[in-house]
Structure 1
Amino acid sequence: MYQEIYNFLNECEQNESIKNISFGIVNENEVLYQMNKKPYQIDQPRIMFSITKSFTGLAIGMLLDDGLINLDDKVSKYFKDYFPKILNENLEKMTIRHLLSMSSGLKYENFKDALVDDDFIKTFFSREFVNKPGSKYLYSTRTSHILSALVRITTGKTLQVFLDERLFKPLEITNYFWEETPEGNSYGGSGLAITHDAMAKLGILLLNDGVYKGKRIVSKAFLDEATKSQVIKQDSVGTEASKSRGISYGYQFHIVNENEYAADGMFGQVIYVFKDLKIAIILTSQTTDFVKIYALIQKHFRNFTLSNDINKDQLDLYVKTLTYEKESSNVVFKHDLTFKLDKNSLKVNSVRVNKDFIEFTHDDESVDRLNLNERIGYLRFIRTINYERQKVFLTVLASSEDKLVIELTHLESPFISQFIFEKRESESIFRFEPIITFYLDKFEQPIRNH
């Protein structure tokens, strides 16, 4: 077992398109092995992006188990008030099953719209539905969010409150958070942040067909349907990616083949389940090529055994060499500069920098200060749709009397960003460089020197 883990981790390290943060392997009873790279902490909740969808899907399974819904119920039964005045035939035919299988008939998905949307439900139903429901796959975070809204409509509870009672508490998951959309629902397609340990517990639940420590959480009947092919990803057929990722989708799970399926999220968050081997692979990442990471998981674990060619101590010694921590330079920057910023993606209206700290004043006038002689700080930054104060790890990449380069590793997400300050002869420059992120655009702001 440890040899297989070593081989997998080592090959990941040799691949520049794979940047794992944590790794784990579980069977149906326990965690067999796990590791985590500094400066990240294994008990720190991090945004899971689209793994959220699989949690949302499980909630729908629980509603089905409770007899509150039928998968062939028309969506109009629950959301008629949100439908446009001129009804679309495809929209009228849409069922809960179509939402679960990403085959609603929706024409397109624009993920960035979420940043400016004030009602996710209304916006979804105002979109074009050009395909007959069930006939075509279209991956859509907004579609999953409608399932979150369905939970609230049928139970009177947000998805977070519902799953806290039905899933998180039974699995002893307490350290998590869930973003809300403007209309007050838990963000059903992307907003959940959990720890590596919580991901492992979900893996154990799935390997036990919906049972955790003897308690039934969701029915085996639902999981059997959720983890088999419900729709073909028509655009994946015949592609190179299909060799490792498959061409099928279930109910909020990606189906690789009849024995393997996965929950995954942007930048390389993965729960990969081997039904026949009774193991699941858990990964979090800064950024990862899904085709390559799936191929490596399959290469190293499809023939998994508990036999050991190396011992655990040898593997642990290797793992201790894996880190994202960088040495931080001494600050010799000699200026005290304040930049008044134009409207920007950071939602920051001014930045002050000197040899001791960087101070950010946000659009809402809240202030965050990062001390340059401390490695850990807090900064308001985007999660998936909301800007919230989050833990960061600070590295001074470079410092001279006239230039300062700071890198922030955002510990509650995969994001990495850089802030550059430079005093020139006639002007001073502030530059924001997103290294790993989405949504946020780089920008530069000069000020004239007096």
Structure 2
Amino acid sequence: MINNNFLQEGISPSYFFQYVDTLTNLNLHSLVIYKDNKLLSKVHIAPYNEHEKQILFSVSKSFTAVAMMFALQDKLFTLDTTIYSLLKHKLKFEPTEDIKSITIHYLLSMTYGFIDKEIQDFYLKDDWINEAFSLKLQTKPGTSFFYNNRCPFLCSAIIQELTGKNLLTYLQEKLFSHLNITNISWEKNTQNYDKGSWGLSLTTEDLAKFGQFILNKGSWNNKQLLAPEYIEKLLTVYINTDNKAFPDSKLGYGYYFWKCQPEKAFRCAGLFGQYCIILPKENMVIAITSNAENEQKQAILSATWKFLAQIKKDNKSSTQDLSSLNNYLSKLHLPYLPNDNSIIPEIFQQEFKFSHNPLNLNSISFSQIAPDCIRINITLSTRKYNLLAKLNAWQKNNTNSENDNFDSCTTIFYENPYANYGWQNNKLNLKLVYNQGIFIDTLEFNYYNHQLYLHYNPTPSFIIRTKPHYLISNPIK
């Protein structure tokens, strides 16, 4: 949806069409644009929609940094305060002198002094605070940048220890209540701290509102919530990142914000192309969610810079163009699975059981409940998972409510997916879209010789969560 503000800003619908079309081919989920403090556009690729919040992964870090700026403003600490002085009561041992020298500034600039040689696995530990203080540092704190998840988590722990409120509650009081952001959650670790580095979920429009707050230098509805000097601290480049692979990763790093190519522009960035782009010169904010992989992430940013360059040169637009574009946008959806009606009757009305497997799948059964709808009953090792799926449509499922132990990075079968199915070449294909996150799973079922053959293919590829698997059910006697 784009509105009349779009016309008033003189943005060409044809260029916006090209922009959305490019992003759609880069696995866009949603796009929200604000300009001059006005909402210009909201685009959601069905079944993604404006009402359900989405997991933002490392965009969470930028929110954590803002919380730390509020704490600075409240004089809970200074940038030179050591984290040891704030968290020593949580430690079970005496850390090294190097660890004791780590300051708030080092946390926020990710110059902690430790570089993970392999995939970061601290989240598997029982005590994240003690793990961080037990590390053997490879470099002197404050001298070497290493992008990591420990530092923002420690910020979350500090906020909670100093205020008695978890990170989400603290930000609700300081920020979210003023921005009317209510549909929001933050995953916790086993010690009951908000994760800080990831785990924040909110709608794309609310993400754009956060960007507008940053663009307005800490002001919202003519009320100064956070002094401009703290916004400036967030968006100051402290770290040289010219050794990174992509153009928009080479320009430097502030306090959990990345510098971008356009003049004075910064972005919050999360895994697989979650972005909140702040553009002071254009007085714009662009919020994007996607499941972009590898080079696609830079391609999204490059397409955005191209769009910005185009709209500066062309200010022709009309109501008719606007209507045509809205008609196009309203019909955008993820592609449905193809269907040739090569139904496998043997697949229905029997239960297929599986031996121990990485998906924790115990059994599955299928039933046809309408010509275009099937029911899939899945028994996992921890719960039952009953779904409806439709032909040529996305069927919303309500399997369960959120739980406090949910982990967006390791959970395989999310709750409440949208489901679509199709028959092709005597196989049943099922696609599950987890609307609250980036993951889409495709399951291909083939029946042969009284056994069910399952090919499970998750996208995007994320080894911490899972990988493709081939399973064969136990023979039915």
Q: Please say whether Structure 1 and Structure 2 have the same fold, judged by a TM-score greater than 0.5.
A: yes
Asked if 1:324 corresponds to 2:338, the answer is no
CA drift at 1:122? 2.5
The equivalent position to 1:255 in structure 2, one of 252, 259, 263, is 259
Alpha-carbon distance in structure 1 between the residues aligned to 2:168 and 2:51: 20
The equivalent position to 1:339 in structure 2, one of 331, 353, 364, is 353
Aligned identity (percent) is: 23
Q: Does the CA contact (< 8 Å) of 1:176 and 1:193 recur in 2? A: yes
Q: In the alignment, residue 448 of structure 1 is paired with which amino acid?
A: P
Describe the shift of the 1:86–1:443 C-alpha distance in structure 2 as closer, same or farther (beyond 3 A): same
Asked if 1:443 corresponds to 2:453, the answer is no
Q: Does the CA contact (< 8 Å) of 2:377 and 2:387 recur in 1? A: yes
Alignment of 1:218-297 (within 5 A): 218-233=226-241, 235-236=243-244, 239=245, 241-242=246-247, 244-256=248-260, 259-288=264-293, 289-297=296-304
CA drift at 1:219? 1.8
Q: Does the CA contact (< 8 Å) of 1:431 and 1:445 recur in 2? A: yes
CA drift at 1:15? 6.9
The equivalent position to 1:359 in structure 2, one of 354, 367, 377, is 377
CA drift at 1:431? 2.8
Describe the shift of the 1:64–1:115 C-alpha distance in structure 2 as closer, same or farther (beyond 3 A): closer
The equivalent position to 2:397 in structure 1, one of 356, 377, 388, is 377
Q: In structure 2, the residue corresponding to 1:390 is in which secondary structure?
A: coil
Q: Deviation digits for residues 347-378 of structure 1, max 9, x if unmatched?
A: 443333344422222322x2120123581114
Asked if 1:391 corresponds to 2:416, the answer is yes
Q: In the alignment, residue 277 of structure 1 is paired with which amino acid?
A: E
Q: In the alignment, residue 393 of structure 1 is paired with which amino acid?
A: Y
The equivalent position to 1:368 in structure 2, one of 360, 382, 385, is 385
1:53 paired residue number? 61
Q: Deviation digits for residues 63-117 of structure 1, max 9, x if unmatched?
A: 0000111111011112225557463343122111111111111211755626633
Alpha-carbon distance in structure 2 between the residues aligned to 1:222 and 1:435: 38
Q: In the alignment, residue 440 of structure 2 is paired with which amino acid?
A: I
Q: Deviation digits for residues 121-157 of structure 1, max 9, x if unmatched?
A: 2332333321112211111122211111111011010
Alpha-carbon distance in structure 1 between the residues aligned to 2:413 and 2:297: 28
Q: CA RMSD in A?
A: 2.7
Alpha-carbon distance in structure 2 between the residues aligned to 1:87 and 1:274: 42
Describe the shift of the 1:208–1:77 C-alpha distance in structure 2 as closer, same or farther (beyond 3 A): same
The count of corresponding residues between Structure 1 and Structure 2 is 443
1:35 paired residue number? 43
Asked if 1:176 corresponds to 2:167, the answer is no
Alpha-carbon distance in structure 2 between the residues aligned to 1:363 and 1:351: 12
Q: In the alignment, residue 248 of structure 1 is paired with which amino acid?
A: G
Q: Does the CA contact (< 8 Å) of 2:199 and 2:407 recur in 1? A: no
The equivalent position to 1:94 in structure 2, one of 93, 102, 125, is 102
Describe the shift of the 1:303–1:48 C-alpha distance in structure 2 as closer, same or farther (beyond 3 A): same
TM-score (norm 1): 0.89
Pick which of 255-264 and 186-195 moved more. Answer: 255-264
Q: Deviation digits for residues 384-414 of structure 1, max 9, x if unmatched?
A: 35578532111113257x6321011111111
Alpha-carbon distance in structure 2 between the residues aligned to 1:185 and 1:207: 29
Q: Which runs of 5+ in 2 are unaligned?
A: 1-8, 369-373, 401-405
Alpha-carbon distance in structure 2 between the residues aligned to 1:126 and 1:419: 43
2:206 paired residue number? 198
Pick which of 335-344 and 270-279 moved more. Answer: 335-344
Q: Which runs of 5+ in 1 are unaligned?
A: none
Q: Does the CA contact (< 8 Å) of 1:338 and 1:353 recur in 2? A: no
Describe the shift of the 1:123–1:43 C-alpha distance in structure 2 as closer, same or farther (beyond 3 A): same
Q: Deviation digits for residues 154-211 of structure 1, max 9, x if unmatched?
A: 1010001111111111110111221111110111011001001101211211111001
Alpha-carbon distance in structure 1 between the residues aligned to 2:99 and 2:14: 50
TM-score (norm 2): 0.85
Q: Does the CA contact (< 8 Å) of 2:91 and 2:129 recur in 1? A: no
Describe the shift of the 1:232–1:200 C-alpha distance in structure 2 as closer, same or farther (beyond 3 A): same
Q: Does the CA contact (< 8 Å) of 2:352 and 2:452 recur in 1? A: no
The equivalent position to 1:313 in structure 2, one of 311, 323, 338, is 323
Alpha-carbon distance in structure 2 between the residues aligned to 1:449 and 1:204: 59
1:208 paired residue number? 216
CA drift at 1:337? 3.1
Pick which of 384-393 and 352-361 moved more. Answer: 384-393
2:437 paired residue number? 413
Alpha-carbon distance in structure 2 between the residues aligned to 1:340 and 1:370: 19
